[in-house]
């Protein structure tokens, strides 16, 4: 995009002094995006601290209003490329006593001095030259565990108009938008992200009203490289549209990206006694990582997994973290806690203390649906720890069902799966079925050893391959 063309876009938004009167779609999307943000910060604990929020393309403050209602104590940096849009936002909030900083900035090429807990943007990314590059750049300004939450128009927006142009063999000079397929893979490896799509149908009284509406919100700038239609051609487009349509569709993608809390992996299993602790010891040794088992049960009959991993991987005192929850009975955390008249929560599991220079191997307790209390499960612990997951699975009969169900449940929560490690007798059929049906990588096949010790742990480590880009 040339500088002259970008100046045209800025000028169009500067002149949109009736923006809020005509921005009906923008208001709908801003509300839905704010609901999406509320969902991610759904507990009061998430909002107690004074978080920092960066908004890209704040416009007149449609999304901002929802945000300050929800995060009244947050520090806001509100940006826009249009000086007049930024002034409109300033005037809207001039009598509010919130921590608001206004900054004239091109969101695609940000110049910032701090990192943020939340970066958000409503219907701005479709104006970027390269959405993937912009997202990678913006996520660099996220704190660990920070969110990038955005909305953008996608390819099928205005498809009714485009069909009229195509039917007449006219070149359509309406803005083009990225396809949902092209943005599915834009999320960086530093976190996990997903998109959800929506369609909004808008009734149009007359064809010319559509173009007047675009001009009123500053969105009427045609494609940079396009040839304008002759007046007779434009009249034909208006006429054909009026005959065939009285509506226009907007296709919206809502994106949520969360940056990982640290480098490393959360190790879970398809069952209990599946070999998670052994694999965790291998991974800790391989990656020279710090080991952490947040919830430990069964201490009345076992030395505990932390001691086992420290022994096998020969860890120093700085290479492990003690469990947050320690329970005596070899039961689920919920049942073991009940025997001790304790009520468990995850409030004390704090990932903000994880050091960014370290790599971490975090081990769960049993499978992902082992209960912690009457409403929390290990999968909720995985979400809170916020690391990519490695699944440990058996190779015996029955493992396909357990493994594929674990994969599906994690994906339903948008939790990133780095791969599966098989533990037991080599079984190529099992391996190939998991790859085929689970669409995951097999990171290793670890054979059974009757006696594992620090000396032969290295042999098992050689059976596991962790790609460098994963860590």
Question: 389 and 420 in contact (C-beta within 8 Å)?
Answer: no
The per-residue pLDDT for range 280-311, each reduced to its tens digit, is: 999 999 999 999 999 999 999 989 999 999 99
Contact 257, 148 (CB under 8 A): yes
- Domains within the chain, CATH numbers bracketed: 3-259 (3.40.50.150), 263-470 (3.40.50.300)
Q: How far apart are CA 202 and CA 389, in angstroms?
A: 42
Instruction: Please indicate if the annotation marks 321 as binding a ligand.
Output: no
Give the pLDDT score at 1.
Answer: 67
Alpha-carbon distance 188 to 196, whole Å? 18
Residue 218 marked as a ligand binder: no
For residues 164-182, give the mean pLDDT.
Answer: 88
Measure the CA–CA gap between 49 and 46, rounded to whole angstroms. Answer: 7
* Mean pLDDT value of segment 265-285: 94
Distance from C-alpha of 58 to C-alpha of 82, rounded to nearest angstrom = 10
- Between 469 and 71, the more confident residue is 71
Q: How many CB atoms lie within 10 A of CB 129?
A: 11
Banded pLDDT at 44 (limits 50, 70, 90): very low
Residues marked active site are found at 293
Tell me whether residue 365 is annotated as binding.
yes
User: What's the DSSP call for residue 113?
Assistant: S
396 is in an annotated binding site: no
Global pTM? 0.90
In the chain, what is the greatest distance between 2 CA atoms, to the nearest angstrom?
Answer: 87
Where would I find the H helices in 322-467?
Answer: 333-339, 378-385, 399-412, 428-438, 454-461
DSSP class of 469: G
Separation between Cα atoms, residue 192 and residue 416, nearest integer Å:
6
**Is 208 annotated as contributing to ligand binding?**
no
In tens, the pLDDT along 212-229 reads 888 899 887 767 667 788
């Amino acid at each position: 995009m040339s500088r002259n063309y970008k100046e045209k876009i800025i000028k169009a938004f500067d002149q949109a002094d009736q923006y809020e009167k005509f921005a009906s779609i923008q208001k709908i999307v801003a509300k839905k995006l704010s609901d999406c943000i509320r969902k991610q910060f759904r507990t009061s604990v998430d909002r107690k601290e004074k978080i920092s929020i960066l908004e890209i393309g704040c416009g007149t403050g449609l999304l901002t209003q929802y945000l300050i209602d929800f995060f009244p104590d947050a520090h806001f940096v509100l940006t826009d490329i249009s000086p007049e849009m930024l002034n409109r936002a300033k005037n809207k909030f001039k009598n509010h006593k919130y921590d608001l900083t206004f900054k004239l900035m091109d969101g695609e090429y940000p110049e910032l001095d701090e990192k943020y807990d939340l970066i958000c943007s409503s219907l701005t990314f479709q104006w970027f030259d390269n959405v993937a590059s912009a997202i990678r750049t913006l996520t660099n300004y996220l704190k660990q565990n920070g969110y990038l939450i955005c909305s953008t128009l996608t390819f099928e927006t205005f498809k009714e108009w485009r069909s009229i142009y195509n039917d007449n063999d006219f070149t359509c000079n309406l803005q083009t938008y990225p396809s949902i397929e092209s943005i599915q893979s834009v999320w960086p490896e530093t976190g996990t992200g997903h998109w959800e799509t929506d369609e909004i149908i808008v009734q149009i009284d007359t064809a010319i009203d559509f173009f007047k509406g675009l001009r009123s919100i500053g969105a009427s700038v045609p494609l940079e490289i396009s040839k304008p239609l002759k007046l007779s051609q434009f009249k034909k487009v208006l006429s054909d549209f009026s005959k065939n349509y009285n509506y226009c569709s907007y296709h919206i993608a809502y994106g949520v990206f969360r940056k990982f809390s640290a480098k490393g992996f959360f190790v879970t299993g398809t069952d209990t006694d599946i070999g998670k602790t052994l694999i965790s010891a291998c991974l800790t040794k391989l990656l020279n990582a710090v080991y952490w088992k947040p919830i430990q049960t069964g201490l009345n009959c076992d030395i505990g997994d932390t001691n086992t991993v420290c022994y096998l991987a020969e860890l120093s005192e700085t290479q492990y973290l003690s469990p947050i929850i320690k329970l005596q009975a070899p039961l689920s955390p919920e049942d073991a806690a009940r025997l001790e008249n304790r009520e468990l929560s995850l409030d004390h599991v704090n990932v903000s203390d994880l050091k960014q220079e370290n790599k971490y191997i975090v081990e769960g307790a049993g499978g992902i649906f082992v209960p912690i209390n009457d409403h929390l499960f290990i999968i909720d612990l995985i979400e809170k720890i916020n690391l990519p997951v490695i699944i440990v699975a058996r190779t015996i009969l029955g493992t396909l069902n357990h493994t594929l169900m674990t994969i599906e449940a994690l994906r339903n929560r948008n939790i990133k799966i780095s791969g599966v490690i098989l533990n037991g007798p080599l079984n190529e059929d099992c391996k190939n079925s998991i790859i085929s049906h689970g669409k995951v990588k097999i990171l290793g096949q670890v054979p059974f050893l009757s006696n594992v010790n620090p000396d032969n742990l290295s042999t098992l480590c050689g059976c596991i391959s962790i790609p460098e880009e994963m860590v």
